[in-house]
């Protein structure tokens, strides 16, 4: 592996040559050191994914300008606002892909994350390379993000280090959080990972005036994330007071999945199973109620929760606040939608939700 100081006059040109040959490089950003590859080169992406070691995580790209981004993704008004007011900077904006790069970089729904970094060396590298490069942290799966070369060497095995041909060394970087990840492809922008940059007023909020409308909101929310179930289980953690509409929300989930059985609260049975099979998806909807569990560890000891967590499984958990510790332990492995339902008056409910996905954690 070649190590070049960021002050070396040949550093950027040699890095571009390595990228053009389909090799991996490590380069500094305003957050941590990143792993760079040519996203138009399938062999380079194969090597990058082998290095990272976790296909569930998505890989963003870094661009030198908004114009370069628009060659590869479609920017809607939500994305336009973020590019105008927050970029360049430590934010990854997820947009619908134009499918001009290796599709393994995209999510299950065909979206692609884009970074416009605010680090002079990275921008100079992108400008000279003339096309994007991958923008994923240089750590391997489950290891600490590197903020220095010694950091990277300490937490990266020799076999993994051998995948990298060049290290652009800018010394020790400031220990900042990773980028904030915002999905702009939904009706409301949604933060998938909170990083250094805090963006105000991005929590989706829906107002329901009837049980039917609550069910319809559930259908819309589930349909947005259903493609994930081809590869992963999906947990919907429902919170709200007694009678606020958690079970009505679950009925909406069942309707979206084409389940014709009458869904009722599993308060006394704790768990009910509803197999589903649509033209695109199949699996089991597990409706779980933790209200009567004296100890949430019974989710595993009695319900064998871990055995339910497989691709195609959708777990709707009422009174999920009681299972907060268990859910937290799964957040880096399983997509989790946290649904909060609040009663505003006798007929009106406010529904807010947040999404945590291992694709971006």
The DSSP result for 164-213, as a single string, is: EEEEEE--SPP-----EEEE-SSSS-EEEE--SPPPSS---EEEESSHHH
Over residues 314-329, the mean pLDDT reads: 85
- Give me the pLDDT at residue 188, please: 67
Beta bridge partners of 168: 4
- Give me the pLDDT at residue 199, please: 52
pLDDT digits (tens, 9 = 90+) for 66-104: 999 999 999 999 899 899 988 998 889 999 999 999 999
**Residue 161 parent element (H or E):** helix 158-161
CA atoms within 13 A on the CB side of 323: 30
- Give me the pLDDT at residue 354, please: 77
Q: What is the pTM of this model?
A: 0.65
Provide the 8-state DSSP code for 265: -
Burial 227-249 (b: 16+ CB within 10 A, else e): ebbeebbbbbbbbbeeebbbbbb
More confident: 186 or 230: 230
Over residues 2-17, the mean pLDDT reads: 95
More confident: 205 or 31: 31
**Phi, psi dihedral angles at 88 (to 5 degrees):** -75, 155
Cα gap 327→126, rounded to integer Å:
39
Residue 124 has pLDDT above 80, yes or no: yes
Planar angle of CA 284, 187, 214, nearest 5 degrees: 55
- Give me the pLDDT at residue 44, please: 96
Over residues 154-159, the mean pLDDT reads: 92
Cα gap 91→195, rounded to integer Å:
8
Distances (CA, A) of 193 to 146, 183, 187, 279: 18, 10, 18, 31
Strands (E), the chain: 2-5, 24-28, 33-36, 60-62, 73-74, 91-97, 111-115, 133-137, 164-169, 180-183, 190-193, 205-208, 234-239, 271-277, 282-289, 313-318, 336-345, 348-356
Crossing angle for the helix pair 211-225 and 246-256, nearest 10 degrees? 50
Beta bridge partners of 9: none
Confidence of residue 27 (pLDDT cuts 50, 70, 90): very high
- Give me the pLDDT at residue 176, please: 77
Reading the block at residue 319, the tokens are 């009174």
- Give me the pLDDT at residue 261, please: 86
- Give me the pLDDT at residue 196, please: 55
Over residues 128-139, the mean pLDDT reads: 94
How many helices (H) and strands (E) the chain has is answered by 12, 18
Distances (CA, A) of 309 to 58, 285, 316, 329: 20, 11, 12, 13
Residue 55 has pLDDT above 70, yes or no: no
- Give me the pLDDT at residue 256, please: 95
Query: Within 10 A of 145 (CB to CB), how many other CB atoms are there?
Result: 19
**Phi, psi dihedral angles at 95 (to 5 degrees):** -130, 170
Maximum average pLDDT range among 1-5, 259-263, 299-303:
1-5
Over residues 27-51, the mean pLDDT reads: 94
Residue 153: is it exposed, middle or buried by C-beta count within 10 angstroms (0-12/13-18/19+)?
A: middle
pLDDT digits (tens, 9 = 90+) for 195-248: 655 555 455 678 999 999 999 999 988 988 888 898 889 999 998 888 899 999
Domains of the chain: 2-193 (3.90.870.10), 205-356 (3.40.50.300)
Query: Within 10 A of 77 (CB to CB), how many other CB atoms are there?
Result: 7
Query: Within 10 A of 271 (CB to CB), how many other CB atoms are there?
Result: 18
- Give me the pLDDT at residue 361, please: 53
Q: What share of residues in the chain are helix, strand, coil (percent, to 5)?
A: 30, 25, 40
pLDDT digits (tens, 9 = 90+) for 105-122: 998 788 999 999 999 999
User: In whole numbers, what is the pLDDT of the chain averaged over residues?
Assistant: 88
Q: Quick check: 312 and 283 in contact, CB under 8 A?
A: yes
Classify the C-alpha dihedral 348-315-305-356 as positive or negative: negative
Q: Quick check: 272 and 266 in contact, CB under 8 A?
A: yes
Query: Within 10 A of 66 (CB to CB), how many other CB atoms are there?
Result: 16
- Give me the pLDDT at residue 203, please: 53
- Give me the pLDDT at residue 360, please: 60
DSSP secondary structure of 75-87: --HHHHHHHHHH-
Q: Quick check: 258 and 274 in contact, CB under 8 A?
A: no
């Amino acid at each position: 592996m070649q190590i070049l100081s960021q002050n070396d006059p040949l550093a950027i040109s040699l890095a571009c040559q390595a990228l053009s040959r389909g090799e991996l490089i490590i380069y500094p950003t305003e957050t941590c050191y990143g792993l760079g590859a040519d996203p138009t080169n399938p062999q380079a992406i194969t090597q990058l994914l082998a290095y990272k070691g976790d296909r569930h995580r998505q890989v963003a790209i870094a661009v030198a300008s908004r114009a370069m981004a628009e060659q590869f993704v479609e920017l809607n008004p939500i994305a336009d606002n973020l590019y105008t007011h927050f970029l360049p900077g430590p934010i990854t904006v997820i947009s619908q892909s134009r499918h001009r790069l290796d599709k393994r970089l995209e999510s299950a729904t065909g979206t692609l994350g884009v970074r416009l970094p605010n680090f002079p060396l990275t921008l100079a590298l992108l400008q000279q390379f003339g096309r994007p490069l991958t923008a994923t942290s240089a750590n391997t799966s489950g290891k600490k993000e590197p903020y220095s070369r010694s950091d990277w060497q300490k937490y990266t095995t020799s076999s993994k280090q051998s995948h990298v041909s060049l290290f652009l060394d800018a010394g020790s970087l400031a220990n900042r959080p990773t980028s904030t990840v915002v999905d702009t492809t939904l009706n409301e922008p949604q933060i998938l990972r909170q990083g250094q940059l805090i963006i105000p007023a991005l929590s989706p909020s829906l107002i329901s005036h009837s049980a039917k409308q609550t069910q319809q909101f559930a259908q819309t929310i589930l349909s947005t994330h259903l493609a994930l179930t081809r590869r992963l289980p999906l947990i919907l953690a429902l919170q709200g007071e007694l009678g606020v509409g958690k079970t009505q929300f679950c009925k909406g989930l069942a309707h979206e999945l084409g389940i014709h059985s009458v869904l009722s609260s599993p308060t006394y049975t704790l768990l009910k199973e509803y197999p589903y099979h649509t033209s695109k998806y199949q699996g089991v909807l597990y409706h779980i109620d933790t209200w009567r569990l004296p100890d949430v560890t019974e989710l595993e000891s009695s319900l064998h929760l871990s055995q339910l967590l497989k691709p195609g499984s959708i777990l709707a958990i009422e009174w999920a606040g009681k299972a907060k510790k268990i859910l937290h332990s799964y957040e880096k492995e399983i997509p989790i939608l946290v649904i909060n339902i609040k009663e505003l008056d006798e007929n009106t409910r406010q529904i807010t939700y947040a999404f945590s996905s291992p694709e971006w954690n």
